[in-house]
Structures are given as C-alpha cells and as structure tokens.
Structure 1
C-alpha cells in the first residue's frame, strides 16, 4: 500500500523551519486537517530553541494556498462553521504573535483563507506570478480568519474594503505597490531570497 502523503512538508534548514502546504491537487487549500497540523508545528516552533524563524509556503508553482477547502463547508452546520472559523482565528493569531520571524513565501495564488494565512505572517515575499485576494463575496461568505482586520492595518480601510467587496485578485506588483508584500522575486529565487533575508536578520541582536 502507498503511504498517505503528509498534508505539510516540514524541514529544518539551519534553524529555519520551512513549512510547505502539501495539497497541490487542491491548490494547497486549507482544510481542518491542514490547520490542525499547522497548529502543531507552530506550537512546537514556539517551544523549540532550535527554531529561530519560519517560512510558510505552498507546494508546486501555482498556489501558496487557494483559500479554504469549500468542499468541507457543505457538510457543516452553522455552529460547526463558527467553530471552524474560531479555530482558524486562534491558529493565525498564534502565528501573528509568535516571537520568531515568520515569512509567507507566496508562490502563486493566495486567496481567501490562504491570503489570510499570509497576512498573519510578519513578512510577505511573493513570486512574480503571485495573485492575492479575498473572493468570499462571490460565494456570499465573509473572510473568517481575521484577515479583514489585518488587511485594514496594512493597506488602510478604503483599499481593504475595495478588495473585500470587489473580490478582485491583484498581482504581485500591485500587492508590492500597496504594501501587502515586502518584495517580489522570481519563483525560482523565492525560498533562497527568504532564507537570505532571515540570515540577515539573524546577524542582528536577538
């Protein structure tokens, strides 16, 4: 029998924990199992003296995370959906409040919950093929993981409302212009660029 692949590929590269969302067939969409595994690794990183920083990215060349897994929603009762939203908020809050640098390496689509995950990270670096957005309005939903508040802090109320109400997807170049991402690189250089930035940070006083 073939082993079931892990939903996250995790490796420690000289004190940098690189977490790769590993559902390329679903464009790395976030489901309960992914969030649960992510939470475990964030908790472990918090307590580990061997981990100095984290990079979160997606498997493949198409997507960081193309939102939450909509296929799970149809089976949820309203109270279950609320609990799922609260669980996601708590996990993303842990990332936001982590006392070690967390970089989102956005390697393609970062939409909905995937964009909210990137917004919870301290630094965002995008590949030049990346697109970000909150498409929930097209589905009659609201972003549920705290992204609306974080986006407003980053780009201001007007632009945040525009992105939420239009459900537009914006390019890496536009995201850089708006201050959503810190840098844009080629896809091939994305992870090396993130590692180089963290190594520069490590040279400073802790």
Structure 2
C-alpha cells in the first residue's frame, strides 16, 4: 500500500521533470505508457501476493479451529468411554433412569463424532485416530445398550466389561494421538 502511495506521485514527478527538461520527445507517450504498464503489472503482482498471504492465513486459522474442535470432541469421547467403564455396575442393575442417562451421554458423543466428516480434518494423520475413536464409541454404545436392556435375560457381562475397559484405554490413546497431531 505504501508503495502505491509513494510510487504514483514519484512517477508523476519524474514525468514532470522529464517534460520540463525536454527529455521526453514525440515518442514520450509510448514510454509513459510502457512505464505505466510495467507499474500496473507490478501492482497486480503485489495484490495477488497479498491475497495469497491472506488466504493462507485464513486457511491456517480455519485448520486451527477445526483441530481444536476435533481434539475437544475426541477428549470428551474418551471421557465418556471411561465413564462407561466406571458405570459398568450401574448398567447391570438395569435402573431405567440411570441407564437412559448413561446411554444418552454415550449416544450424544456418537452423534457428535458422526457429524464430523473425516475428509474435513485439517491433517491426514488425524484421520486414523479419529476413525478409531468413532468406532470405539459406536461399539461402546451398542454394548452399553445390550447391557442396560438385557437381551432375553442373557448378556455376556465379562465381554462387556472387557470391551469397556479396552475401549476406555484405546479412546484415551487415540485422543492423545489427535491432540499431538493437532500440535504438529
């Protein structure tokens, strides 16, 4: 911008000096036009460069926001997976209000994870841990539903406990991987 503010008056000053001392002759309009064309090209390059810098900065800001969102959702999902593991005994008791509260919490995280398109993640190394967390939460939701509702009186409680324990750890690890990928 400063180049334009100082460059245009300087150009006119030079033309005025050349006219005053007779340096410009009958071919001078061609020279002035050539200098003007070069200046216009230079200004166009400067404007394009500035727009490119602005687009890069906007993309970085958007990537930072998306990364923070993904890390936040993943961290909450890991916390819910841990809650599910710690609520194992409560789910077995099959108290409807308690189970509905737990299942609603898990389902809200599953829906939050489903609402994020892996193609929108800002870094390729974020896709795999994100998909792992989503699969973990979907599996945990199904297992919690089976345990909470009891399927015809038979549910493999040991398998549910094992899945909850494994998923709790795996979700925490995947959330940490996402956080690290977001920082890189």
Structure possessing the higher relative contact order (Cα contacts under 8 Å, 6 or more residues apart): 2
Q: Which one has a larger percent helix, Structure 1 or Structure 2?
A: 2
Same fold (TM over 0.5): no
Q: Which one has a larger percent strand, Structure 1 or Structure 2?
A: 1
Report the TM-score when normalising by structure 2: 0.27
Larger CA Rg, structure 1 vs 2 = 2
Report the TM-score when normalising by structure 1: 0.25
